[in-house]
Amino acid sequence: MKRKKFSIKPSQIPDIKTVLNETLKGSSLRLLLNKGVIINLFNEIINSLNPIFNSTVKVEDLNLKTKIIVVNVKNSTVKNEIFMYRSYIMNMINEKAGKKVINKIIFK
């Protein structure tokens, strides 16, 4: 039995970003994916500020509709220090996301 040969030009093959966007369009998976991206951005920024922050700071909740991120901080000293970076963290997340995704950060 012979196999059929398909002649598809490389220019006809869509890139993975396009395929994912079309697949996730209107899906609840899109929301989860966006939340995951924002949480990863937050963790990267926290780690770049001070690696010690990474072990004491954890995202507790993220609401994309109200654009609020709730962060649990285990150490009060770290909480005070990270509070001073609040606007910097919001600006960096929004800049890396390419749009305004966070309006407020609440530290617990």
Q: Do residues 43 and 54 touch, judged by C-beta distance below 8 A?
A: yes
Give the DSSP H/E element, type plus range, for residue 69.
Answer: strand 68-73
**7-57 pLDDT, tens digit each:** 767 677 778 878 777 776 766 666 667 788 888 999 999 999 888 887 888
Asked if the structure places residue 15 within a domain, the reply is no
**pLDDT at residue 88 tops 90:** yes
- Domain-located, residue 85: yes
> Which domain does 95 fall in, by range?
33-107
**Domain tally, the chain:** 1
DSSP state of 51: H
Does residue 50 belong to any structural domain of this protein?
yes
In the block, tokens 């995704």 appear at: 101
In a domain, 103, yes or no: yes
Contact (CB, 8 A) for 107 and 56: no
72 domain residue, yes or no = yes
pLDDT of residue 16: 81
Any domain includes 4: no
Burial class (CB within 10 angstroms; exposed 0-12, middle 13-18, buried 19+) of 49: middle
Rounded CA gap, 39 and 58, in Å? 9
CATH no. for residue 87?
3.30.300.180
Q: Is residue 40 part of a domain?
A: yes
The confidence score (pLDDT) of residue 30 equals 66
